[in-house]
Amino acid sequence: MGNVTLFAKLLPFPAVTIISGRALFSVLILGLFFWIRGKSVSYRSFKDFSFVFGIGILFALHWVTYFHSIQVSTVAVGMLSLFTYPVFSAILEPMFGGKRPDPFAFFLACFSFFGLFLIVPDLSWDNQMFQGVVWGVVSAVLYAIRNLLTKEMHVHYPSAQILFTQLIATSLVLLPFADGLFVMLAEPKYLVFQVVLAGVFTSLAHTIWIRSLSNLSVTTAGTLSTLSPIYGSLAAWYFLGEVPPDRLWLGGGVILFCAILEVFRKQAESGKREEEKLI
């Protein structure tokens, strides 16, 4: 799914407009899938629907800030900034359960920010790399919150149904602000980009990813996800000519090290809890 970031550069429109089209086409594709399969998308209560719909608004903000981060900087900067989200998840998850955050999670957060500091040549809002990092970190926090809230509903509803509802929320929230949407869809090349973005890199990719979790361990799945910034950056290098500076590889290495370490740490904690249940 790392190559989805290329569309933030290939489509010369604001992030809100691109994400509006992406969400709208994804809703149509998933809706058609549910209709063909005869699947129900109803909820047991309006409260549950409202909760998932509200998470969809966070999803919209995450997507927009993520694409905007890439547009003002580079694909590599946006992706690496986003991949601080495992560390933010480690800090926020205990707080959602009324517990104190793990001090080691704070250490990893500081280390991740050190990696971001290595990427940015100038800590000034006039610097586009700095803007990209800031928007990327905002997107990472929103993504972490969205995932933690979504996790609460996975017990009761299928992942595809939750994603479908969130995409509806994303479409409804962003469409009023999607300047140039009809212009974008009227251009055949951009229309094809949107269909590919929604069909292949959203509906299909997210479905495959969710299904892979039933066959892969959490550690394997998490580690594979951290490869996204690497092949995404290489794709941007090849297709867009965005050559990453040396300092970006160094800072990116620090960030991905923290993300992978947190994935393995979570898997170890999960395994320990399972062992305690058996005792």
Residues 6 or more apart from 139 whose CB is under 8 A from it?
Answer: 62, 63, 65, 66, 69, 81, 82
What integer pLDDT is reported at residue 18 of this predicted model? 95
**Cα Dmax for the chain:** 63
| pLDDT tens for each residue of 109-142 | 788 888 888 888 777 888 898 999 999 999 999 9
| pLDDT tens for each residue of 6-34 | 888 889 999 999 999 999 999 998 899 88
| pLDDT tens for each residue of 171-204 | 999 999 999 999 999 999 999 999 888 888 877 7
258-275: average pLDDT: 69
Lowest mean pLDDT among 77-81, 110-114, 212-216: 212-216
226 falls in which pLDDT band (50, 70, 90)? low
Domains held by the chain: number:
1
Lowest mean pLDDT among 18-22, 24-28, 72-76, 239-243: 239-243
Q: Is it the case that residue 67 has pLDDT exceeding 90?
A: yes
Provide the residue range defining the domain that includes 166: 2-278
Lowest mean pLDDT among 64-73, 123-132, 255-264: 255-264
84-112: average pLDDT: 80
Q: Is it the case that residue 71 has pLDDT exceeding 50?
A: yes
Predicted TM-score (pTM) of this structure: 0.84
